[in-house]
Amino acid sequence: MKLPSYSKMTPSGSEWLGEVPEHWILKPLKRFFWILNGSTPKSGEPKYWDGDIPWATPDDLGSLKGDKLQFTQRMITKEGYNSCGTKLAPAGSLILSTRAPIGHLAISGVPTCTNQGCRSLVFCIDDDKRYFYYQLLTTRQEFESWGQGSTFTELGKDKLGAIYLIAPPQSEQRAIATFLDRETVRIDTLIEKKERQIELLQEKRAALISNAVTKGLNPNVTMKDSGIEWLGEVPEHWSRKRIKHLGSIRYGLGEPPAQLEDGVPFIRATDIYRGRINGEAILRVDPDDVPWSRAVLLRRRDILVVRSGAYTGDSAIIPQEWEGSIAGYDLVLRLKRECPEFWAYALLSRYILQGQIYLARMRAAQPHLNAEELGEMIIVVPPLIEQQKITAYLDSGTADIDSLSEKIQHSVDLLFEYRSVLISSAVTGKIDMRRGRHG
C-alpha cells in the first residue's frame, strides 16, 4: 500500500516525534488528560475486597487480549475504595501501567480504578479516544525512558504529564483512528491465521514424537498390551522400566549465585520450552559463588526436566554448546547405557508428559514434580538399536516441521513490526489522512 505524506512538515522539538505536520498542535500530556493515581486497599481486610468496583493492575493490562478492559482479576468494595487513595475513572478513559512494567495500555470499558502500578488518563477535552490510544501505544519507549527508581522503575505523575503528545484537528484524528482500526484488524487477522498454523504444526510434531516413541517405526510388528491405561499397545519385544532405572536423577542448584556478565551459564526453567533451550535470556553467574560440591555442572546429553510452574515436566537435552553450564531449579537426568536423544524425545511424548507427569504435578496445590515422582514413572523401552533409529527418524521429521514453523514465525514477527511502524507513522503525521487519501 502506497501511503501519501504531508507536504509541509516542521520540527516538533521532541526527539521521539521528529518532524510533524505544521498545522498539528504539540502539548504536554497533562493538557489532554487529567491524571488519576491508583492505590491499594489493605490486603488483610476482607470487607475491602470482592466487591463490584473494577480495580486494574499492570497484570490486567499485560494479559489483555484486545484494547478494551471490561473486567479485572480483582474487584474492591465501596469501603475498600474509600479506604485508599485510588480514583475511579469513567468508561472510555485510558489506563496506563507506570511501573512493573511501564507502558501497558487499555481503554476502560467500564468505570475503573487502579492500583499504584497504573494511572488513569481521563480526557479533559473532546478529542478522539482511539486516536490517542494509538498514539500512547507508540509512545511506550518514551514513557520507559522517563522512568526512575532503584528498586523498580516507575514513571511518576509529573514526568508523565510533561511528556509531549501531538494532536491534529479532530477530523484528522477520526480519519487516522478509522484507518488504523481497519488496518490493524486486517493485520491481526492475518497474524492469528499464521499463529494457528504454528499451533497445528506443533500438534503434528507432538503426535509424530508420541507415535514413534510408543509404537516404533515398523507398522507390521507384533503388538502387546503395555499395561499402562493411557498408552495402549506397544511392540511385543519392548520392555517396561521405571525412569530411575535408566540412570541417575538429581536436583539443580535452585537460586542463582551472584550474576557476572562473562560468568558460567545458569539454565533456568524459564529457558526450557518444548525440548529446546533458549540461549537469548541465559543468566551468567560468578563461578566463585557456585557450590561445586553439589554436582551442579551439566554434561552434554544430560536431560533437564522442569520441576514446577506452568511448564512442569517440560524438558530439554544439553547440546554441545551448553556443556559446562549450571542446572537451575530443575531435575537433571543422566543416563547410563541408553540413547539420551531418544529419551529426550520420549519425555516430550503424550504418554509421559500429558499422562504420568500431568497426574504427578496435579497432586500438589501448585504444579510440581520431584525426583522421586519422576523416577517412579513407567516407560516402555525399545532395544538400543531401535532407540537410535527412532531418534534419527525424529531428528529428520521434527527438523522439517521446525523449519516451517520458524519461517511462519518470521512472517508473524514482520507483521508485528509492520503494525507498529504503521501506527507510529499515522499518529505522528508521517501519513496524510485528509480527504480519503489513505484509500
- Residue 276 in 3-state DSSP? strand
At 199, the pLDDT band (50, 70, 90 cuts) reads: very high
pLDDT at 439: 45
160/250 same-domain check: no
pLDDT at 390: 97
Q: Measure the CA–CA gap between 12 and 29, rounded to whole angstroms.
A: 15
Q: What is the CATH number of the domain that holds 44?
A: 3.90.220.20
> Which strands sit side by side in the sheet containing 49-56, from one edge to the other?
74-76, 49-56, 113-114
- The pTM (predicted TM-score) of the whole model is 0.82
- Residue 266: CB atoms within 10 Å: 22
Grid cell locating 122: 481521563
Q: Please identify, among 340, 362, 381, the residue that sits at the C-terminal boundary of a domain.
A: 381
For a pLDDT cut of 70, what percent of the chain falls above it?
Answer: 94
Q: Measure the CA–CA gap between 427 and 18, rounded to whole angstroms.
A: 12
279/153 same-domain check: no
- In-domain check, residue 232: no
Helix axes 129-138, 384-427, angle to 10 degrees: 120
pLDDT at 364: 56
137/247 same-domain check: no
pLDDT at 438: 46
**Alpha-helical runs (H) found in 216-317:** none
- In-domain check, residue 69: yes
247/149 same-domain check: no
Q: Which residue reads 475513572 in cell numbers?
A: 89
Q: Which residue reads 554434561 in cell numbers?
A: 299
What's the angle, vertex CA 169, arms to CA 141 and CA 104, rounded to 5? 25
146/41 same-domain check: yes
What is the sign of the dihedral through the CA atoms of 14, 102, 417 and 93?
negative
54/145 same-domain check: yes
- In-domain check, residue 12: no
Mean pLDDT of 86-95: 96
Q: Please identify, among 381, 396, 414, the residue that sits at the C-terminal boundary of a domain.
A: 381
Split into its structural domains, the chain has a count of 2
Grid cell locating 437: 487519501
Mean pLDDT of 19-28: 93
Of the listed ranges 187-196, 223-232, 429-438, the one predicted with least confidence: 429-438
| Residues composing the chain | 439
253/367 same-domain check: yes
pLDDT at 50: 95
Quickly list DSSP for 296-336.
-BPPTT-EEEE-BSTTTT-EEE--GGGTT-EE-SEEEEEES
161/246 same-domain check: no
163/246 same-domain check: no
Q: Measure the CA–CA gap between 215 and 393, rounded to whole angstroms.
A: 13
Grid cell locating 124: 479533559
- In-domain check, residue 134: yes
- In-domain check, residue 268: yes
- In-domain check, residue 142: yes
Task: Encode burial over 9-35: b for 16+ CB neighbours within 10 A, e otherwise.
Answer: eeebeeeebeebbeebeeeebbebbeb
Q: Measure the CA–CA gap between 133 and 41, rounded to whole angstroms.
A: 28
- In-domain check, residue 132: yes
121/252 same-domain check: no
pLDDT at 416 over 60: yes
Residue span of the structural domain in which 273 resides: 239-381
At 15, the pLDDT band (50, 70, 90 cuts) reads: confident
Is the preceding peptide bond at 4 cis, omega within 30 degrees of 0? Answer: no
Of the listed ranges 89-93, 137-141, 296-300, 355-359, the one predicted with least confidence: 355-359
137/262 same-domain check: no
Average pLDDT score over the chain:
90
What is the sign of the dihedral through the CA atoms of 375, 377, 383 and 384?
negative
- In-domain check, residue 403: no
143/258 same-domain check: no
Q: Please identify, among 147, 167, 187, the residue that sits at the C-terminal boundary of a domain.
A: 167
Q: Measure the CA–CA gap between 235 and 352, rounded to whole angstroms.
A: 17
pLDDT at 265 over 60: yes
Quickly list DSSP for 98-161.
EBSSEEEEEEESS-BEE-TTEEEEEESS---HHHHHHHHHHTHHHHHHT-B-SSS-B--HHHHH
